[in-house]
Amino acid sequence: MRFFGRGHGACPGCGLTIAVRNVLEALEGKCFVANPTGCLEIISSQYGKNAWGVPYIHSLFDNVAAVASGISEALKAMGREDEGKVVVFAGDGATADIGLTLHGMFDRNHDVIYICLDNEAYQNTGHQQSALTPLGEATTTTPVGKIMLGKMGRKKDMIAIALAHGSPYVATSSAVLPADIRRKVKKAAGIVGAKYIQIHCPCVTGWGIDGKEVVKVGNLAIETALYPIVEFENGKLLTVRKLKDRKPVEEYLKLQRRFRHLFTNPEGKKIIAEIQRIADANALKYNIDLKK
């Protein structure tokens, strides 16, 4: 059985579709998908070229959590909960910026698995910054200029936000960890309430990487502790992906066009140092480094 058809329009090597296929397979296709406007929607839901093999709805860019809440509650009202889980696949922009309805879904704790596919910018509209764009990334709205070197703010901590809402299950994962995705989605499916899973999804086009590098780059985000892979149940930290030899952030940054200026601009060093500090803080916060 296919739950996400071939022939979709994603760029070769797109991380979104790796994540989506694994989520759908973990749920054995027993799910309802709600998806806001964004790359995933555009590559999968053109009229007559629908890639979805599961019930799917795209409504707007800014309301997916509410739409999913509505599906979940309607299924309850009609006694059809057994049909499947309600799953959201939303971009980082749809989640952390314009997705006004996410906090309502968390608050009311609707039975939804909310998956944020974090490719760290608005890729669908041509790589503009979002609240999940990391420090230093050049985007078309945080370009490199004489007085600015890419995004000059931090990446919003959606994990903390989800936890603050009392979400019963909060986790991060990566498109380059299919087994991890599957395990976490299955786990989330067994928990009632509004679950949040944020999956790091390399974007070949926006990040300026080759398909062959997708897995390497995705792994480096984890190996540098820039993207901690964590899991919380009822607010308690359950698992953390530990690292034996945490790598310096340069190794991750230098492979990607979006960070290239950090290596050519004399001011770039300072930003790299700051990014390293972020990685160090992550490692400390989650106790990522294995003692030798």
Ligand X SMILES: Cc1ncc(C[n+]2csc(CCOP(=O)(O)OP(=O)(O)O)c2C)c(N)n1
Q: Give the 3-state DSSP-derived string for 81-108, with helices as H, strands as E and coil as C.
A: HHHCEEEEEEEHHHHHCCCCCHHHHHHH
How many other C-beta atoms can be found within 10 angstroms of the C-beta atom of residue 37? Answer: 22
Which 208-267 residues touch ligand X, going by CB under 6 A?
Answer: none
Nearest residue (CB) to ligand SF4, 122 versus 232: 122
Query: What's the CA gap between 197 and 170, in Å, rounded?
Result: 6
CA 285 to chain centre: 20
247 lies in the binding site for another protein (CB under 8 A): no
Which 91-150 residues touch ligand SF4, going by CB under 6 A?
Answer: 119, 123
Pair 17, 51: CB distance under 8 Å: no
**What does 205 interact with, of another protein, ligand SF4, ligand X, none (CB < 5 to 8 A by kind)?**
ligand SF4
Binding-site member from 17, 45, 69, 130 for ligand X (CB under 6 A): 130
Which 97-156 residues touch another protein, going by CB under 8 A?
Answer: 100-101, 103-104, 107-108
Which 60-79 residues touch ligand X, going by CB under 6 A?
Answer: 61-62
The least distance separating ligand SF4 from the CB of residue 88, rounded to whole angstroms, comes to: 17
Task: Name the token pair of 21.
Answer: 């296929």
Instruction: Give the binding range for another protein (CB under 8 A) out of 74-82, 128-136, 185-193, 277-285.
Output: 74-82
Q: Name residue 31's amino acid.
A: C
Pair 63, 100: CB distance under 8 Å: yes
Task: Name the token pair of 100.
Answer: 């006004």
204 lies in the binding site for ligand SF4 (CB under 6 A): yes
Instruction: Write the interaction track for another protein spanning residues 188-217; mark x where CB under 8 A is met and - where it is not.
Output: ----------------x-----xxxxxxx-
- In a 3-state reduction of DSSP, which class is residue 209? coil
The least distance separating ligand X from the CB of residue 15, rounded to whole angstroms, comes to: 10
Nearest residue (CB) to another protein, 32 versus 259: 32
Task: Name the token pair of 255.
Answer: 């492979």
Binding-site member from 38, 39, 40, 44 for another protein (CB under 8 A): 44
Q: Which residues of 112-127 are buried (b: 16+ CB within 10 A; e: fewer)?
A: bbbbbbbbbbbbbeeb
Task: Summarize as ranges the residues that interact with ligand SF4 (CB under 6 A).
Answer: 10-11, 14, 16, 39, 43, 119, 123, 203-206
